[in-house]
């Protein structure tokens, strides 16, 4: 083992779905900085192109692609294009998800279908497509973004939480099924991450501060702080890690409750 090279990704092709913003953008930049050729894929092609251009300006290899993981044909087209162009797909990171915050008894069927359709079924589609290719290659790393909500919930997040628990179980099952073919599958469970998607929470300071206070570190994470765990799971540094859930939550799931009792 060359310990100084264990995080390097030179010669590997990585696809990041949701690379146009937030955690996906940070993951793409981190993988590229460690030597991977990154395909920045997003439903918004302009955002994907902007992130690929930023990575290229930093001196790394990146390109843009469009994908809609709620559409099976779009997923097939993306994976086919990557294999046709690069002859391999070594890393997949998939990040997209949505949340409709409301009590379960007020959830409409359409809202349920929309959240489950993207978060769970969409993740399944791209993981299935990448997993099939990687199994044929005899190597690969799949990383799906779950959440602390896969383990702990709060009012208004029941359906979102169910999807995040669901992707963990898909990852675990795939790890078991594809391990003999040399494919590793893991999940990352972030805590609260400060991205454009949480702007409604930032507009309510008491809500924003309550979430910050819940973690052991007393703050929100930045999207860039998710890049390190992604690089770890993509690289040989995690060569014996599969079927795992890596919590990157600032201690959220370790801390019991929001009140510090007098000791």
On the question of pLDDT at 259 being above 60, the answer is no
Q: What is the phi/psi pair of residue 261, to 5°?
A: -75, 155
The catalytic residue positions are 160
Under 8 Å between Cβ of 134 and 142? yes
pLDDT: which is higher, 215 or 182: 182
Dist CA 211 CA 194 (whole Å):
11
- Give the helix/strand (H/E) hosting 13: strand 13-17
On the question of pLDDT at 150 being above 60, the answer is yes
Strands 62-66 and 37-42: parallel
The domain covering 3-247 belongs, at the CATH homologous superfamily level, to: NAD(P)-binding Rossmann-like Domain (3.40.50.720)
Dist CA 256 CA 212 (whole Å):
14
The gap from C-alpha 207 to its chain's centroid, in whole angstroms, comes to 24
The gap from C-alpha 237 to its chain's centroid, in whole angstroms, comes to 18
Query: What's this model's pTM, rounded to 2 decimal places?
Result: 0.96
Kindly state the tokens that stand for 59.
């001196």
Predicted confidence band at 202 (pLDDT cuts at 50, 70, 90)?
A: confident
Domain ranges of the chain: 3-247
The gap from C-alpha 107 to its chain's centroid, in whole angstroms, comes to 25
On the question of pLDDT at 46 being above 90, the answer is yes
Contacts of 168 (CB under 8 A, 6+ apart): 146, 150, 187, 189, 245
Q: What is the phi/psi pair of residue 14, to 5°?
A: -120, 130
Dist CA 124 CA 40 (whole Å):
19
On the question of pLDDT at 78 being above 80, the answer is yes
């Amino acid at each position: 083992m060359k310990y100084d090279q264990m995080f390097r990704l030179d010669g590997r092709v990585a696809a990041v779905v949701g690379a146009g913003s937030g955690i996906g953008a940070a993951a793409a930049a981190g993988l590229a900085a460690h030597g991977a050729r990154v395909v920045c894929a997003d439903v918004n092609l302009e955002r994907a192109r902007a992130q690929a251009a930023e990575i290229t300006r930093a001196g790394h290899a990146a390109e843009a692609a469009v994908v809609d993981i709620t559409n099976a044909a779009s997923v097939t087209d993306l994976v086919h294009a990557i294999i046709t162009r690069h002859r391999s797909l070594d890393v997949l990171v998939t990040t997209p998800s949505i949340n409709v915050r409301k009590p379960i008894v007020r959830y409409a069927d359409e809202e349920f279908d929309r959240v489950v359709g993207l978060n769970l079924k969409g993740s399944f589609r791209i993981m299935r497509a990448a997993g099939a290719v990687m199994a044929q290659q005899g190597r690969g790393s799949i990383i799906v973004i779950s959440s602390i909500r896969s383990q702990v919930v709060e009012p208004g997040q029941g359906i979102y939480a169910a999807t995040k628990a669901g992707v963990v179980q898909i990852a675990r099952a795939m790890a078991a099924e594809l391990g003999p073919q040399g494919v590793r599958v893991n999940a990352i469970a972030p805590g609260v991450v400060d991205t454009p998607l949480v702007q409604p929470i930032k507009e309510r300071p008491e809500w924003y501060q309550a979430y910050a206070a819940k973690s052991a570190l007393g703050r929100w994470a930045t999207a860039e702080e998710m890049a390190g765990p992604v690089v770890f799971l993509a690289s040989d540094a995690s060569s014996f890690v599969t079927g795992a859930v890596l919590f990157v939550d600032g201690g959220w799931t370790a801390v019991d409750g929001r009140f510090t009792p007098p000791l």
